[in-house]
Amino acid sequence: MTLLVIDHDSVVPPFEQLRTQVAAMIVTGELEPGQKLPTVRQLASDVGLAANTVARAYRELEADGVISTQGRRGTFVRSRLFEQQDAMSPEGAARQAAINFTQTARRNGMSLAEATRLVEAAWPRTTS
């Protein structure tokens, strides 16, 4: 990833500066779909920020549907082509349903804890 610049004197919070720059790199094609991003710790070290600040930027980018964290595999620029092919699998269909639910919950101002409680309450009432 090219050099990201954080202006510590800016009124824009560092996580937002980072989020904006990464999103711009994706839009311009500098970061390509499917490309693996640095770990939170690595990027924090590279740009001189706290890991929690980078983690927040990544969470915001993920909430915006720009990147995807895949557990231990890492964080990647989202690839529409890969996700469309993967959507045919049961895991892909569940992942898409979870994304749709999460976007709806966030748009309606729900916290992660509230959304999780809804899923936990619905789980015993559903069948396979």
User: What are the pLDDT digits (tens) for 73-122?
Assistant: 999 998 664 455 555 667 777 777 888 888 888 888 888 889 889 988 88
CA distance 35 to 12: 27
pLDDT digits (tens, 9 = 90+) for 47-69: 999 999 999 999 999 988 899 99
Give the architecture (CATH level 2) of 1-78: Orthogonal Bundle (1.10)
For residue 125, list its beta bridge partners.
Answer: none
Cα–Cα distance for residue pair 31/120, rounded to 1 Å: 36
- The pTM score is 0.62
